[in-house]
Amino acid sequence: MERFADSVAVVTGSTRGIGAGVAKRLAREGASLVVTGRTREAGEATVADIEDEGGEAVFVRADMRDPDDIAALFEATVDAYDGLDVLVNNAGVETNTGVAEATMEDWEFVVETDFRAFWLCAKEAAARMDEGAIVNTSSNHAFLTMPEMFPYNAVKSGINGMTRAMALDLGPRIRVNTVNPGWVAIERTLAEMSEAERRETESIHPVGRLGKPEDIAAAVAFLASDEAGFVTGANLLVDGGRSAVMQDGTLPDYRARRQTDSGVGSGPEESE
**Degrees to nearest 5, angle at CA 130 with 118 and 21:** 45
The question of whether 152 is a catalytic residue gets the answer yes
Backbone angles phi, psi at 135, to 5 degrees: -120, 120
Catalytic residue among 152, 220, 224, 236: 152
Give the strands of the sheet with 32-37, arranged side by side. 56-61, 32-37, 8-11, 86-89, 132-137, 174-181, 235-238
Backbone φ, ψ for residue 104 (5° rounding): -60, -35
Q: Which of 239, 238, 254, 256 has its CA nearest to residue 202?
A: 239
CA terminus-to-terminus distance, the chain: 51
Q: Is 232 left (phi over 0), alpha (psi -120 to 50) or beta?
A: beta
Q: Which residues are catalytic?
A: 152
